[in-house]
Every structure is written in C-alpha cells, then in structure tokens.
Chains A and B, each alone.
Chain A
Amino acid sequence: MATGPTGNDGMLRIPCPHCGERDYTEFRYGGDASKIRPPHGTADARAWQEYVFLFDNPKGAHLEYWQHVLGCRQWLVLERDTATNAVGKAHLARSQGSP
C-alpha cells in the first residue's frame, strides 16, 4: 500500500478526489468497505449476520468508507493501513456501487 504524505505521526489526512487532501475531522467514518450487501430478498439469516456483524478487522491494509460531510458530501472508499495509519488512494464510492 502506498504511504501517503501522512504516517503515524500527524493528523490523519484523507485525499478527497473532489476537494484534495483534508483533515479526517471533516469526514464521517463509515467502516469496512470490502463487503457486498446480500441481494434484497435473501432469506438466509447467516448471510445477513455475516454482512451486518462480522468483520475481518485486519491489522494492516483496510478498505473503508468515509463521507466528506464538511466538504463535497460524497462517500469515498479509502485505502488505509490500520497498523500505521498510512493512507493510500481514495475513490468515489458510487463508482463501484452505493455504500
């Protein structure tokens, strides 16, 4: 994963594709972005349990949602290393389906 301009030491900064790099305090966290919602009508409770409650929670590379609430208000998907806080690339969440 690319090490962004911010590492462990400073404020977590998120590169918004619209607004540029901003402090994380402008964003709202949205959690794990690696999961796919089961199709509507899925009757298997386990599929929902998996989707709603179970997480990989990796120590390392993590794909996660952030919403730029104090900026363009878009939902982003960010790559971040949970062991170092080094950030990688961010893209708009809607470019891969809604969050």
Chain B
Amino acid sequence: MIAMSSRYSALALARHALTGKPWARAWRSADPKPAYDVVIIGGGGHGLAAAYYLAANHGIQRVAVIERAYIGSGNVGRNTTLVRSNYLLDGNTQFFEHSLKLWEGLSHELNFNVMLSQRGQIVLAHGPSQLEVLARKGNIMRLNGIDAELLDRADVMRLLPYLDYSQASRFPIHGGLLQRRAGTVRHDAVAWGYARAADRLGVDIVENCEVTGFVRDGDRIIGIETNRGRIAAGRTAISVAGHSSAVAAMAGLKVPIESHLLQAFVTEPIKPFVDHVISFGAELFYISQSDKGGLVFGGHIDGFNSYTQRGQFPKVQSVAECAVALIPAISRLRLLRHWAGIQDMTPDGSPFIGRTPLRNLYLNGGWCYQGFKATPAAGCCLAFTIAHDAEHPLARHLSLDRFERGNGHDEYGNGNWTYRQ
C-alpha cells in the first residue's frame, strides 16, 4: 500500500517548501476487491460524498466507489459551481440549506480547501409581480432561518452598477433578492477533497471500471458486473448523474428521467468586475467571475434528449444574448471555451434520493440543474439511506414513486424538460 498522504496544514506546507519533496498522492488508486459491504456506482461529487459520509457518519468502511473513467470527469467537473439555498418549496428549502451549512464547514471537515466563496447571489426581478414572488421566497427563507434580503432598484444599482438600467433596456430592473451566504465553490476540489477524505477512512476508489450489469437474487441486488469482473455488494447505490436511466435499466428499472445537454461558457479573463453571482429574471441565465478572471455563465438545456456531450450552436447565441441584454459592457468579450454535460432531467425538476423497487439497490439521480450545490447534502442523505435502508427525513419528498402518488415537487416549472411545458 502506498503511504497515506499526511494532514495538510501551514506547517506541512512550510516543511514541504523547505525539503522540496514531492507531495504524496492524495488518495490510493485501488483495484476492485471481490466483495464490499457497499458499492457506489459513479465517482462524481455525489458518489464520493456518499462514500465519505458512510465511513465518517455511519462507520461503514468496506465501501467502494466504482467510476468508469476518472473521478471528476463527469458533471462535478463541468458545472458552473454555484451554491445557494434560496428555495421556495417546503422540503427543498431545508434540504438545500442543510447543504449550504455543510459547504460552510467542508474545507475543515475534509482538511482540503474547497474554496467556498460566499460572494452573494442576486436574483433579479424585472417587474412588480416578479418582485412579489421574490419577496415571498425571501420570507419563506427567513422563516427557516436562512439569510435573504429584498432589494429595490436603487439597491441593485448600487451593488451591480454595470447592468443595463437605460430606458432602452428590454427587461427593466425592478429589484432583486440577495442571499449573501450563496456563492461559488471550486468544483474539482470537491471531488478531490471527498476522495482523499474517504480514502483515508478506508474507502476504495476504483477508476477505469465501468459497471455493465447487476447480479440479482430474486428481487434483491447482490452485486455488480463490471469490465473488471464481478463485485459482490451488500448494498448498491446508483449515483451516475446523466446516466441514471441507462444504469437503472441494467437492473430492469424504468425511471422518470430523460438525459439532456446543458452547456456552460467562459470568456477571456478580465479584471475583477462581476463581484457576485447574478441570476437574470427574464430567462434562465446566470453569471459569475472565476478567480482567473473569466466570466462563467450558462442558461437552459439544449432542449432534446442527447448523450453527445456536445452542445448546439444556437444555444451559444441565445445565452450570449442574455449576457449582453443584462451587461451590455461585455458585448465585445471573446468566448474562451464552452462545453456540455449530460444531465438527468425529471418531470418536476426535482431529484430522487432513496430506495428503489429492488431490495438493497438505491438511487441518487435526476438532479437537473441543481446537483452541484446539493453535493454534500445528497451524499449525506444517500449515505443515510444506504445505512438505514430508509429515506433521510430531509429527502422524503424526493422519492422515486412520487409521480405515481401525485406528489410531484416542482420548484418553479423550470428545471424539468422544458419542451413539455
């Protein structure tokens, strides 16, 4: 076994600087063992977090995370890194606030700097009725002990002087809702931080290992088939982001999920300019500035089922139009890169964390646009579900059979597959 990496600290940094010895690997590269108590399929943020919380909170350490490529190659490394807890619906409000609280302590808990930057998020309102809705949302947040501040036009002008306030603006700015504790997190560090912390507790992180099927005993799942052989598992969880239905189908399950593309964009770097995260109120569009100076932004899904991981150009145009409508000053910035991720979309825009019709098989998927901010809470709830064979109290509204029961959980008619609305 390779020597485990030591604790990161100022002292370790100084010692390292003086001796010049290379840093030890942050986690072991494990080969799959024949059997585990728990196997988690998918080494994204959620799968790694669930493995960490299984070991840390529930004392279950014979755990493997099975990743078909390398960890961080999925959406955890492709998203626009926004975290917030400004949700309206009961259930969502508490779940996402739990997640934000976990983010606030995460660098300490993992001994890995995930670079949480609580720069504040402002959601804009472009008319009085929209501001009313934001006021209601802000009140719900405050009743739940979450910070929220309602802004009028003058407040927004003070905080974001560079928006289009002219008479000619297509979407006049009427006000907004500010959550100061919202912000961004360094996404790769989330994968690496959870991986290192889980590894230190004995979890095997197995990369380049693709799950190709399940081993069944009646209505019970007792293991997985992979391109590196069969692995027996006491309990198995699917946490594969855009591929939930493909993997669930290997177990004979049909789930209410479609896979769609979501694109993200980054401009050439400029000096510090956009100090907050801003969400447009007239379209699904949000923008922030990275530490390197690039403006990072995104919009809607492309709009039709796709696994190509390659966005369509008309979306580049419509998203750029939003950017310029909001901040005319950036119209001549060049796009540096744009990319796409394959994202599960559900009928109500809400995810699933819980049991499935098969015993000892659990599903965490259907995350639509919101899985990154959910990473710590999703990992925490999934670990609880695996350990107790029951839904976590914070995730009871996210069960797989909610449509059958008429309990869809639609936050704002936006997260789901838009063509159906």
Contacts and interface: CB of A to CB of B under 8 A. Distances in A.
26 contacts: A8-B308, A12-B304, A24-B304, A24-B314, A25-B314, A28-B419, A31-B258, A31-B305, A31-B419, A32-B305, A46-B404, A50-B254, A52-B347, A52-B403, A53-B256, A55-B245, A57-B246, A57-B257, A64-B304, A82-B259, A82-B307, A83-B307, A83-B308, A85-B306, A85-B308, A85-B310
Q: Is the interface of A mostly helix, strand, loop or mixed?
A: mixed
Interface string B278-319: 000000000000000000000000011111101011100000
A71 B295 CA distance: 37
A27 to B, nearest CB: 9
Contacts of B245: 55-57
A30 interface: yes
Given A28-B419, A56-B254, A8 B259 contact: no
Interface residues of A, number: 28
Contact of B246 (A23, A32, A50, A59): A59
Contacts of B255: 54
A8 B310 contact: yes
Contacts of B254: 50, 54-56
B313 A11 contact: yes
A57 B258 contact: yes
B363 to A, nearest CB: 14
Contacts of B259: 57, 59, 82
B314 A31 contact: no
Interface in A12-48: 12, 23-25, 28-32, 45-46
Contacts of A56: 245, 249, 254
Closest 3 CB pairs of A and B: A53-B256, A57-B245, A29-B419
A55 B419 contact: no
Given A8-B310, A29-B303, 15 more contacts: A11-B314, A12-B304, A24-B304, A24-B312, A25-B314, A31-B258, A45-B404, A49-B404, A52-B347, A53-B403, A57-B245, A57-B257, A57-B258, A85-B306, A85-B310
